[in-house]
Chains A and B, each alone.
Chain A
Amino acid sequence: QVQLVQSGTEVKKPGASVKVACKASGYTLTSYNLYWVRQAPGQRLEWMGWINPGNGNTKYSQKFQGRVTITRDTSASTVYMEVSSLRSEDTAVYYCARGKIDYYYGMDVWGQGTTVTVSS
C-alpha cells in the first residue's frame, strides 16, 4: 500500500542541525511532490517547503529559506529535510506528505511524523 515512513525521534542542542528522512513506497515517487509541514506543540500546521523528486526542484517558505534544505535519493525512494542552526522554537513534529505534480489535489498521504526536540 501507499506509505510514507519517517525516521525516528531526534533530540538536538541549540545550534545543531537535524536531518529527517521520509521513505516512500507503494507508488511512483517521481509522480508526486513531497511536502514538509511542521507543527509546534499546541500550534497550527506550518508549510515549510517541497521537492519534486524527479528533477530535484525545490521551493521553500520564506520563513525557512536559507535554513532548511530538502534533498532526495531516488534510488532509495527517500526524501530528506534538514534544518540547520536549531533553536528552541524549532521543537515540533515534522511531517512529510505527498501531492500530485501535474495538478495539486491536496496532500493525500502523510508520514507518521518525526518529533524533534531542541534543548540544551
Chain B
Amino acid sequence: SYELTQPPSVSVSPGQTARITCSGDTLSKQYAYWYQQRPGQAPVLVIYKDSERPSGIPERFSGSSSGTTVTLTIGGVQAEDEADYYCQSGDSSATYLVFGNGTKVTVL
C-alpha cells in the first residue's frame, strides 16, 4: 500500500504565497494530482501530472516535484482559496489510488 503525508494546516495572509507539501515513496516514480475542496462542496482538480494546470484553474496555482516530495504553490493567495487541499497518487498504471491526509489552508 501507499501513504501520502501532508501538513494538517497552513496559514497565509492575503497576497502572500502558500506552499503545501505531500511526501511519499511512490512520488519518486508516480505523478501527483492536487484537489481543492471548499466546505460542503465536491473536490476540484487543480494540478495534474505534478505540475500541469487544467483549463479554468487560475495561474496562481502551480505544482512541482523533487524526489519523494511534491509541492502545491498558491501565489498571491485570495480569500476564495481557503479550502482543504488533497494530494493523490497511485501505482504505475493508476489502477490503485491513494489520497493524502489533506491540508487546511486558512487565509488570515
Contact = CB atoms under 8 A, between A and B. Distances in A.
- A and B are interacting partners: yes
A46 interface: yes
B108 interface: no
B35 to A, nearest CB: 7
Nearest to A60: B96
Contact of A35 (B37, B49, B97): B97
Interface in B80-101: 86, 88, 90, 93-101
Contacts of A95: 42-43
Interface residues of B, number: 25
B45 A106 contact: yes
Which residue, of B44, B94, B96, has the highest number of chain A Cβ atoms within 10 A?
A: B94
Which residue, of A44, A45, A59, A62, has the highest number of chain B Cβ atoms within 10 A?
A: A45
B46 to A, nearest CB: 9
A112 B42 contact: yes
Which residue, of B42, B86, B94, has the highest number of chain A Cβ atoms within 10 A?
A: B42
Interface string B34-54: 010100001111001100101
Classify chain A: how many residues form its interface, as a range: 20 to 34
Given A47-B98, A47-B99, A99-B94, A108 B45 contact: yes
Given A105-B49, A106-B45, A112-B42, A44 B101 contact: yes
A80 interface: no
B15 to A, nearest CB: 28
Contacts of B102: 44-45
A113 B42 contact: yes
A50 to B, nearest CB: 8
B96 to A, nearest CB: 7
Contacts of A45: 35, 37, 43, 86, 88, 99, 102
B104 to A, nearest CB: 11
Interface of A: 35, 37, 44-47, 59, 61-62, 95, 97, 99, 104-108, 110-113
7 contacts: A45-B37, A47-B96, A47-B97, A47-B99, A108-B48, A111-B42, A113-B42
